[in-house]
Amino acid sequence: MNIGQLAEQAGVSADTLRYYEREGLIEPPARAANGYRSYREVDAQRVRFVRSAQALGFTLAEIRGILPQLNAGRMDRRAIEAHLQSKIAEIDGHIRQMQAKKRELIATFNALSCPVDQPLTVPQATRRGATAVTTRTTTRAAPRATPPAAMRRGTGASR
């Protein structure tokens, strides 16, 4: 199959396929007499694997490290579990960081002491004290049980 056919079958662009080839995620295909790339079904399977692994949060570098083991038949269930557990731990760390950032945002919101209808300048917005947007890095105010509606908007999962 040619690059356009593979791209359509795999749900990626031809540019993505060329990029995957340059990055070593798919092997350089054979060339037809006219110079066009000629892909095999194994290439389509490999692209689908790359896309699936990306959807699970694996980086292209991580995927590049896994592919040779898969190609050589050296990836058993324990190895797969180790990769998945590592990714789960990484995601758990990101969740903790995002929860801490959310607490910080809520504390900052709760600590606002400037008038609602008065524009601020940068010095006012960064000054600690009376009319500034205050942030606390060591002691945090307890966040409101329910953040204001403006802060609840857009809280759905992204990407």
Q: Examine the pLDDT at 146 and tell me if it is beyond 60.
A: no
Whole-model pTM over 0.85? no
Are 32 and 11 within 8 A, CB to CB? Answer: no
Q: Examine the pLDDT at 135 and tell me if it is beyond 60.
A: no
Predicted confidence (pLDDT) per residue in 19-62, tens digit: 999 999 998 999 988 888 899 999 999 999 999 999 999 999 99
Predicted confidence (pLDDT) per residue in 75-112, tens digit: 999 999 999 999 999 999 999 999 999 999 999 888 88
Are 57 and 41 within 8 A, CB to CB? Answer: no
DSSP output for 5-34: HHHHHHTS-HHHHHHHHHTTSSPPPEE-TT
Partnered with residue 31 across adjacent β-strands are: 37
Q: Examine the pLDDT at 120 and tell me if it is beyond 70.
A: yes
Which pLDDT score is estimated for 140? Answer: 43
Which pLDDT score is estimated for 127? Answer: 61
Q: How far apart are the first and last CA of the chain?
A: 31
pLDDT band at 125 (very low <50, low <70, confident <90, very high): confident
CA distances from residue 84 to 53, 57, 88 in whole angstroms, order as listed: 10, 10, 6
Which pLDDT score is estimated for 113? Answer: 79
Q: Examine the pLDDT at 124 and tell me if it is beyond 90.
A: no
Q: Which residues contact 106 (CB under 8 A, 6 or more apart)?
A: 143, 144, 147, 151
- Of the candidates 56, 118, 110, 43, the one whose C-alpha atom is nearest the C-alpha of residue 85 is 56
Q: Note the CATH number of domain 1-75.
A: 1.10.1660.10
Domain ranges of the chain: 1-75
